[in-house]
Structure 1
Amino acid sequence: MIEVTQRISLDDGELEFSYVRAAGPGGQNVNKVSSAVQMRFDARRSPSLPNDVSIRLQRLAGSRLTQDGVIVISASRFRDQQRNRADAIERLVELIRKAEPAPVKRKVTKPTRAAREKRLEGKAKRGAVKSMRQRPMGD
């Protein structure tokens, strides 16, 4: 069980891992060992996520989301498999934590009286400048 927040925790069975060879540091060992991790998480069908969190998570995932609603996270920052696996899990947990809080609704407000007056004064001043650019009336 992976604890994400107080009300959300993921079952280990919901995460699917595959290991591939990674590019980058590692010397000759990089050609022999599959240390990079590709983790898949089905955000659309996950029983652990509430529906509203799942929708926000899919929107946040961006290019990591497949058409089937599966989030694919690749991790190859470290040289060993276990650290890359932990890195991929941590990145998914962070993504879910960002998606968890509901967006705050904006309260509709009116501009203050002073703000309205300031705006009208600015408009009048700008209109006066533009009227000075016109051709004189007598010509």
Structure 2
Amino acid sequence: MIQVTSRISLDESELREEFLRASGAGGQNIQKVETAVQLRFDVAQSPNLPEPVRERLLRLGGRRVTKEGVLVITAQRHRTQERNREDARERLLALIREAAIPPPPPRRPTRPTLGSKVRRLEGKAKRGDVKRMRGKPVAD
């Protein structure tokens, strides 16, 4: 079992890994060795995810989620297959942890109190008096 949060843990059997050749520059090593990892996690069918976390994870996954609800993470940053496997798993766990955080409740708009309105208007009046005193003196 892979511990994601204190309440969520994933079974190893839920993760499928495929190895492929990485793209980009790298010379002979990258052309011959399958170091890139494609990690697949079936979000829609996972029994270990609570429903709200599942919905947020599908939304957070964006284009990495297939129509069937499978999250696909491709890791090819590193030279070795093992390091790419670790990188893909770390990215999956980070995504699930982010989805596990519930969104804050929506803000309820409030009106200013009568006291705050009065203080605001008094402050404006004082400021106006200060500015008026800076002007030329009135001839009597």
Band of TM-score, shorter chain: 0.7 to 0.9
SS of the residue corresponding to residue 6 of structure 1 reads coil
1:95 is matched with 95
Rate the CA distance shift 1:78–1:25 in 2: closer, same or farther, 3 A: farther
Report the alpha carbon displacement of residue 101 of structure 1 after superposing the two structures with TM: 1.6
SS of the residue corresponding to residue 112 of structure 1 reads coil
2:29 is matched with 29
Amino acid at match of 1:65: V
Q: 1: distance between equivalents of 2:26 and 2:13?
A: 30
RMSD: 2.0
SS of the residue corresponding to residue 85 of structure 1 reads helix
Q: 2: distance between equivalents of 1:9 and 1:40?
A: 16
SS of the residue corresponding to residue 49 of structure 1 reads coil
Report the alpha carbon displacement of residue 105 of structure 1 after superposing the two structures with TM: 1.1
Q: How many residues align?
A: 119
1:39 is matched with 39
Q: 2: distance between equivalents of 1:23 and 1:68?
A: 26
Q: 1: distance between equivalents of 2:68 and 2:25?
A: 34
1:106 is matched with 106
Amino acid at match of 2:96: I
Any conservation in 2 of the 1:43–1:71 contact (CA below 8 Å)? yes
Report the alpha carbon displacement of residue 25 of structure 1 after superposing the two structures with TM: 4.9
Report the alpha carbon displacement of residue 23 of structure 1 after superposing the two structures with TM: 2.2
1:86 is matched with 86
1:10 is matched with 10
Any conservation in 2 of the 1:20–1:35 contact (CA below 8 Å)? yes
What is the TM-score of this pair, normalised by structure 1? 0.78
2:51 is matched with 51
CA deviations 1:43-73 (Å, max 9, x no partner) are 0110111111001100110000100000000
Identity value in percent: 51
Runs of 4+ in 1 over 6 A off after TM superposition: none
Structure with the greater alpha carbon radius of gyration: 2
